[in-house]
Structure 1
């Protein structure tokens, strides 16, 4: 194991963060230290978060702003001539498996023969074992909180996301949706794009109140909020140790078409 080896595969690590969520940045800083990345590393950037004044047809202003953050990071990486960028939302956590297998992951990623890589995803079962810890994947899944984009796909992906903003909700090519849904439709429309997934999933979203939508009632009351927070921390630690499956809203949202070990052995 070489701590931090995976992060050295990327020219930039861009963190999506709202300044008022200081709790998340503190927790992410600790999380990254554990897996070998100093948040003050010169390759780490925290771009200013867009603050749209209205949803503009998206589910909420937060969802729209988050979408713009992802798009801006990919567009800027291409304009800056980067070979790759890791996009990381501030609620990402990593498994102990990720820490143990960083050397194998980094070795596999030394090749440029990939387009997008998802270390975080909602596929909790059905992925084959891979010596590298990566599989080439075709199918649907959710989450886009920890993924990397290779330069060769950046302009095409950015163009697609820009067009998505202008399309109406429900458009067959995708319009005004959460960023992970946009990634899913992009994969459907571009089956030749080399999409890699970690096997097993090595990053999920921390159990914490959402920044995209309003908080639920039990997150606002002091007593119930403390109980919920304690339960979420327990869930996160069980997942890190591989003792619990975690998916969006507790469900497995994958629709696997194919998944094969990568690189092909």
Structure 2
């Protein structure tokens, strides 16, 4: 049986992991996730991408929205500069599901045979009007099938070629501009898909990764995340079995 790392790299030429330079905790946790599948942040096919840490929200809804938007725009620029044909972008709070190897193997052939532009694997998906099944585990999504989250997303070079100027224009416009002003990056991807309905967008019915509960550096912090003594307790609580079970329920996953 092919190692899961080889299976993943047969689908994606490069993996970009977005991480804030001072968040060594997330960097360490993300490296542990990669170790689970036979990779690491030091692997030649993995790029640790420095996240944007803006001083304020600017014209975006929040400081976090601006940082995420600018970080993913930077990844698209890197994809084009690096000459990558298909890339996987991971945010550093992504956790691979327990049965990642089997789930990835089940969709690998369909992913490698299909000429897709955007691949979502971030949330459970049910077919909506206009969607088309691609095998038992994948859907080709209509431009109207939208959802939040962007912690595990694949991009083709073609998509990045469209995304860079489109995202740059959104960034430069004033808030509320009818052509699309500063917004959350997952919303911006929905705008791109609406503008280019011929894009091939795939989604896995079950997500390959979920978001790990983790303190944010660019959102408004609660008091227990601002105080050093309580910060460690808060981080521990986020990784506790009870918290993990609650997150699974919220994400619609079975609880062990």
User: Which TM-score band (shorter chain)?
Assistant: 0.7 to 0.9
- 2:108 match: 106
Q: Which residue, out of 128, 133, 149, partners 2:137?
A: 133
Could you state the TM-score of these two structures normalised by the residue count of structure 1?
0.80
Q: Which residue, out of 224, 233, 246, partners 1:226?
A: 233
Count of equivalent residues: 243
Q: Residues 137-216 of structure 1 correspond to what in structure 2 (within 5 A)? A: 137-138=141-142, 139-216=145-222
Q: Which residue, out of 41, 45, 48, partners 1:46?
A: 48
Structure with greater helix share of residues:
2
Structure number with the bigger relative contact order (C-alpha 8 A, sep ≥ 6) is 1
Tell me, which stretches of 5 or more residues in structure 1 are unaligned? 248-265
Could you state the TM-score of these two structures normalised by the residue count of structure 2?
0.82
Name the SS of the counterpart of 2:249 in structure 1: coil
Q: Which residue, out of 70, 76, 86, partners 1:74?
A: 76
Q: Give the Å deviation of 1:30.
A: 0.8
Write the distance in 1 (CA, Å) between the matches of 2:230 and 2:52: 33
State the superposition RMSD in angstroms.
2.7
Tell me, which stretches of 5 or more residues in structure 2 are unaligned? none
Q: Give the Å deviation of 1:195.
A: 1.0
- 2:30 match: 28
Write the distance in 1 (CA, Å) between the matches of 2:63 and 2:207: 29
Q: Which moved more, 1:82-91 or 1:111-120?
A: 111-120
Q: Give the Å deviation of 1:51.
A: 3.9
